[in-house]
Chains A and B, each alone.
Chain A
Amino acid sequence: MHISQVLWQFLIKWLTNSALFPREASTIAPYADALYFFLLTITVIGLVLVGTLIFGFSIRYRKEKHPVAEQIEGSTLLEATWTIIPLCLFLITFVWGAILYFRIYTPPANAMNIYVVGKQWMWKAEHPGGQHEINALHVPTGRPIQLTMISQDVFHSFSIPDFRVKREVIPGRYSTVWFQATTPGTYHIFCTQYCGTNHSAMIGEVTVMNPEDYQKWTQESTSGMSLAQNGERLFASMGCNACHNGSATARGPNLAGVYGSKLTLTNGSQALVDDAYLRDAILNPSEHITSGYAPIMPTYQGQISEDGLIDLVEFIKTLQSNYRVQETLTTADSNQQAPTTPGAVKP
């Protein structure tokens, strides 16, 4: 085991230096590469086998050497062999690939969430602390990062080859991907789904930093408002707090602690409240009427950008009590920042 790890490191170093192989800069990369080398090996073996058979038979049984062909019907044993062996190899590949897939697409619970909005033709990253970046993404090493992504127009696809992760960014729905960067440096972010004229210019750079440097970066590039605080402002300015004010007689359901809970809707179905649910409930409220409430909420389709939706969702996520909602009632007019509550993400 130990020696093979040493050999692995040697192989990777050599390949990376020869520029035939991308850098391994995330925790998942070695797993992806291991499967890659397995597949490469069986491909080469298969190709050599087929090549040997063709060349071997061609030389051995060419007409000059073997003027009369011997007719053979077939051989069940041989045919079973080349059915079963590829089948087994492919099944191994399937299981291996599936394990890797679940590993890549199942974010750990403690992952730090960053939002990414794709639009023609740029990547906009939004950190919970309110830092915005265009075609750039700063992340610390050693910490799982989850990207919650959505497109504002067409399909895009977020890809960091050196991390071996990629995920389609879809209009109208959140998709997620996660990674844990291992090596400080800068790496390409590509848009890999064809998205129109400047598809190939939709390139970004992810900068991986030590946790201390990252800390410094967050402090230097803050805009002074966290996403939740932006959301809070939006919540007030769009008049959401008029109905969702948390009181017993309110016309809208209480939003405190709603994130992660299960709601019973008027049609009797149960809905888990997550980012996607909240977004959709803002855009298509008539399809998500909480049991006990009248269908009076208007749609906000077209009135709010994807960035704004992210802010609102972040705000609702942080609502553990109605304290903040009620605070917004008083701060909405005065255009002042509400006092911070403990536990909220600071800019």
Chain B
Amino acid sequence: MSATSSTILNLPDQRTATLPKRHYLNNEDGLLSWLFTGDHKRIAILYLISITIFFFIGGAFAGLIRLELLTPQPDLVASDTYNKLFSMHGIIMVFLFLVPSVPATLGNFLMPIMLGTKDLAFPKINLLSWYLYWVGGLFIMAALVLGGVDTGWTFTTPLSTHYLNTHVVTAALGIFIAGFSSIFTGLNFIVTIHRMRAPGMTWFRMPLFVWSHYAASILMVLGTPVLAITLVLVALERTIGIGVFDPTKGGDPLLFQHLFWFYSHPAVYIMILPGMGVISEVVSTFARKRVFGYTAVAFSSVAIALFGFFVWAHHMFIMGVSNYSALVFSLLTMLVAVPSAIKIFNWAFTLQKGSITFETPMLYAFGFMGLFTIGGMTGVFLGALGMDIHLTETYFIVAHFHFVMVGGMLMAFLSGVHFWWPKMTGRMYPESLSKLAAVTTFIGFNLTFLPQFVLGYLGMPRRYHAYPPEFQVLNVLSTAGATVLGVGYVLPLLYLAWSLKYGPIAGNNPWQATGLEWQIQSPPLTENFIEIPVMDHEAYDYEWLAKKMEQEVTTVG
């Protein structure tokens, strides 16, 4: 844990180092100063605490699901309870964790600093979005406490509207409200990026983290309202029976699928794009190189966002969409896989001729690249029409989207949290423990979800409470993996909390990274910069950084 155990950690002398006197955390005191803050960094911290709470609630449900599936018999919980478990797991993880995870925490914290400005364009709307997130979250919790909801996170009609006696409307309302927090965050980012960049910060000098958030924000602003409308329709269908989805009233049950996936497919990119932004920053920093093909990576984010809107019907290949529209959606799905492939190779080649070190964020980033490659390639299986018929609605799809969203997104999130933790708190965490956590997570993850691909091809359907006995061995493996994975997630919670008080002082730029955020004090001042910086170099310019550090040494000397 000492500074010498690291190869590049540029920590200040621990005997003399202290945190800066004034920073955003101690600028004002008291609970009210937090609850009424307009500071994007404090809002980011509020979000970080909130999503962590929901992540562990959602994770506990996942644990119960895996425990139930240890045996083929339905022995741990009743089937209604099981259905509520996977529904709440999905709803919480998707809407209260994955969607806000990177944008609302790291994005909120870093976007203004990376752009060289004092705050987001609309600080009050930013705070409002956090409140909306909690109001939505409380509605979802209310649905849980009142007896749960068993629609699955997909709210399929007419099951959700006509056949369930659970708290569907409450949960839908929660998601509806939480959706606005996502819309506001996206809006805030787009306006900030367009209007508030520091002098010299041209579009192509922006860090790729900002580019990926720009793309994700477009999806949030355009996609989320469609989800909101869909959920309102579900609530109306359920309460007053308007009949848009009900075939006996002339409605179309497939219409719901179209509307729902019109948001929920792009939502996958809302989740993954910001994660890709994190990976670009981390890989560049620990290879000490500009990201290979910066422009291609930037544009591939935007390409993913645009293509992402035109692939929703690939969730419906077996649902009786016409064969020819299936063709079009399959083709577009194949096209959207290309920019993802481009990114992977660009990151890999960023390493070439670099000067690579293996700090915790980099280990998580490597984990991301491996897992996301598997997640992305198995997506191609599902995009291939005839293959999708056999694989969809089985554990193959469960494994696939967990690889993308958990293996990908969560690894990226953890990578980002470990990367910017010293900036956010001014302190380092114990390095050996954090590396252990990264490795544990990677092993646990693979052990959990690789067997599920096999289960899926064997035909085990998803959302099954009990299953034929021949699937047991693979399920036991998967549950064992989930246990390891759980350890991997609890570890960071413990040592990061520990580091808040006892962690070594990190200094301004422990990783020797180039981003503007690393050129200011840690933790930053409330107003970020004493004077607005002028961006006079390209993003990831390590030569500029070397010169700057040399100058600092001579000035001090």
Contacts and interface: CB of A to CB of B under 8 A. Distances in A.
A343 interface: no
Contact of B164 (A87, A162, A196, A284): A196
A103 B463 CA distance: 28
Contacts of B470: 19
Contacts of B500: none
Contact of A190 (B323, B326, B327, B461): B461
A220 interface: no
A199 B374 contact: no
Interface in A91-105: 91, 93-94, 96-105
B159 A71 contact: no
Nearest to A62: B356
Contact of A194 (B327, B337, B463): B463
A311 interface: no
B384 A96 contact: yes
Contact of A90 (B250, B254, B355, B380): B380
Interface stretch (A128-136, A163-171, A248-256, A320-328): A163-171
A154 interface: yes
A324 to B, nearest CB: 30
Given A69-B355, A170-B319, A188 B459 contact: yes
Nearest to A187: B459
A50 B289 contact: no
Nearest to B283: A54
A70 B358 CA distance: 18
Nearest to B357: A63
A284 B349 CA distance: 62
A74 B327 CA distance: 35
Interface stretch (A36-44, A233-241, A257-265): A36-44
B293 interface: yes
Contact of A97 (B83, B248, B384, B454): B384
Interface in A119-160: 120, 153-155, 157, 159
A74 B295 contact: yes
Sort chain A's interface into a size bin. Answer: 35 or more
Nearest to B250: A284
Contacts of A39: 377, 380-381, 384, 387
A201 B466 contact: yes
Nearest to A190: B461
Interface stretch (B114-122, B339-347, B423-431, B522-530): B339-347
A155 B255 CA distance: 13
A38 to B, nearest CB: 9
Nearest to B386: A100
Interface in B374-389: 374, 377-378, 380-381, 383-389
Q: Identify the 3 closest CB pairs spanning chains A and B, nearest first.
A: A100-B386, A161-B459, A172-B247
14 contacts: A20-B458, A61-B353, A62-B357, A68-B355, A69-B354, A71-B289, A79-B293, A86-B337, A93-B383, A94-B334, A97-B383, A99-B386, A194-B152, A200-B79
Interface of A: 19-22, 31-32, 35-36, 39, 42-43, 46-47, 50-51, 53-54, 57-58, 61-64, 66-75, 78-79, 82-83, 86-87, 90-91, 93-94, 96-106, 120, 153-155, 157, 159, 161-162, 164-168, 170-173, 175, 188, 190-201, 203, 284, 301-302
